[in-house]
Amino acid sequence: MYKPSCLLNVNGSIRSNALHDIEVAGYRYVMLTICIFGVVCNILNLCVLVQRRLKESPYTYLTGLALADMLTLISFSPVSVVRGDYIRHEDIFFTLTRLEARLFVPMANYLGQVSIMITVALTVERYLFTTYPLRTQSFCKPSYARRVIAIIMVLCGLLNLPRFLTETVEKKIDTETNFNSSNCVMHPFQIRYSSTNTSHIGQCFCVVGHTKESFLPLKNYYYYTMLGINQIIPFAILLCLNLSLIARVQSSNRYTLAELIARQQRNLNSTTAGVSAAAQKRLRDEHRLTKTLVAVVIVFLICNTFTIISYPGLVRFLTKKKYPNYFYVGFRIQKLITNIMLLLNYSINFFFYCAFNEKFLSTLKKTFRYEKLFCGLISSPRRTLPSAMSSATLQSTITQTNQCISTYHLRTEESSRRRGKQEYKPISENDLITNNDL
């Protein structure tokens, strides 16, 4: 792997080739692979969740969550390419870095916040539905869920607007002896050819990011407020509600088992058993949906913990006295691990849906059936004759049909003879129906 001397600063202690190799491998291979894998999984989620069979309001929230996760992964994919140390042309690299700072990263942050808020909204709805099922039926509907998702998107857009307008980048070019890479936001490299200035060839190049001066007085207040809104408050809400949902799922499972044993001991008539079975099926669907949400929230809480402890301002404040170089060395690996955990959180919900939600899994199988994938060109079992129809019944039906055809021809022939017209052509064997015609 390419290891330029520009990675080292003046005293040679900040950047190292080992850290460079770890970061490049993480962004170039691991994160890009997770992004592609997550996009495919979320496309599968959307293909299943838009089916009419999954029309309840929780599946509407899950549809919005899958769409937000997929767009977040798409927005972060160019970031993995830029930070993967692919590009060695200064102008192309600077253009992509500027797009990352002004578009890709703010868009990923915006969509990530939408994903968080949808998870919170779904958890609150599940909690209220399990606590007050009769009172909450009026707003536990798909139309209400769509309105909530629209409101979340608008509010998150307003909150993240400063991210698109306040951050900027600039070039940093200097000789190897004077170049200091401690402030570089991307990996520095040695310019081998330049389309703007040939005197830059052989010098070190990197991109430095900074905030616009008009926003500097408000920067710390804004980012700490966003930390509370995006991470701390959702973490506290989801933790409390998730613990309550776990307890209720466990008690519901015990109640369902006791009810099943009691039913087996009683001699119920068929009507009562049918009604109870239908109610039991709805109850199982609700339990599975709650289990799915619990699994999604647990993974979110784990990944969110990494995000909170990896907040740049918080890390700098805690380490600047005793470990002044940690922000430039150890924090880079910590930030890489945090980004990998976040991308995994956006990518693996599909497996939780399949593992804990039987309704989702059965809908997945029906959506991607072999016959359906080929648009019905392959004969389906539904097109064959019903198994209940025996050969005797089929032969009786053919005989009755042939008698009707013969009677019709005889009546037509007699009518034509009475009118003095030419005789009607007698019926032949070819006009009758046989087994081969079916």
Residue type, 12: G
Whether 11 shows a pLDDT value over 50: the answer reads no
The predicted-structure confidence for 155-167, as pLDDT tens digits, reads as follows 999 999 999 998 8
Instruction: Output 406 or 369, whichever has higher pLDDT.
Output: 369
pTM confidence score: 0.76
What length is written for the chain?
438
Whether 147 shows a pLDDT value over 90: the answer reads yes
User: What is the rounded CA–CA span in Å between residue 438 and residue 433?
Assistant: 8
- Give the per-residue pLDDT at 209: 86
- Give the per-residue pLDDT at 177: 78
Q: Which sequence spans correspond to the domains of the chain? A: 5-372, 392-437
Q: Which residues of 151-172 are buried (b: 16+ CB within 10 A; e: fewer)?
A: ebbeebeebbebbbebbebeeb
- Give the per-residue pLDDT at 268: 47
* Cα distances (Å, whole numbers) of residue 230 to 41, 63, 119, 215, 236: 24, 21, 12, 20, 11
User: What is the rounded CA–CA span in Å between residue 248 and residue 242?
Assistant: 10
Instruction: Output 113 or 23, whichever has higher pLDDT.
Output: 113
| Whether the Cβ atoms of residue 161 and residue 57 lie closer than 8 Å to each other | no
User: What is the rounded CA–CA span in Å between residue 214 and residue 217?
Assistant: 7
Two structure tokens written together for 324: 């002044």
Instruction: Output 42 or 28, whichever has higher pLDDT.
Output: 42
> For residue 10, what pLDDT band results from cuts at 50, 70 and 90?
very low
Which of 80-94, 137-151, 152-166, 254-268 is predicted least confidently? 254-268
* Cα distances (Å, whole numbers) of residue 398 to 401, 428, 437: 5, 16, 10
- Please choose, from the candidates 297, 367, 374, 298, the residue with its C-alpha nearest in 3D space to the C-alpha of residue 44: 367
- Give the per-residue pLDDT at 151: 96
The predicted-structure confidence for 299-323, as pLDDT tens digits, reads as follows 999 988 888 888 888 888 888 888 8
Q: Which CATH superfamily is domain 5-372 in?
A: Rhodopsin 7-helix transmembrane proteins (1.20.1070.10)
User: How many CB atoms lie under 10 A from the CB of residue 111?
Assistant: 24
Q: Locate all alpha helices (DSSP H) within 50-178, ordered by sequence.
A: 57-82, 90-99, 105-131, 142-159, 161-166
User: Edge to edge, what strands does the sheet with 204-211 contain?
Assistant: 167-174, 204-211, 189-190
- Please choose, from the candidates 47, 100, 98, 46, the residue with its C-alpha nearest in 3D space to the C-alpha of residue 77: 100
> For residue 376, what pLDDT band results from cuts at 50, 70 and 90?
very low
- Give the per-residue pLDDT at 82: 86
Instruction: Output 58 or 409, whichever has higher pLDDT.
Output: 58
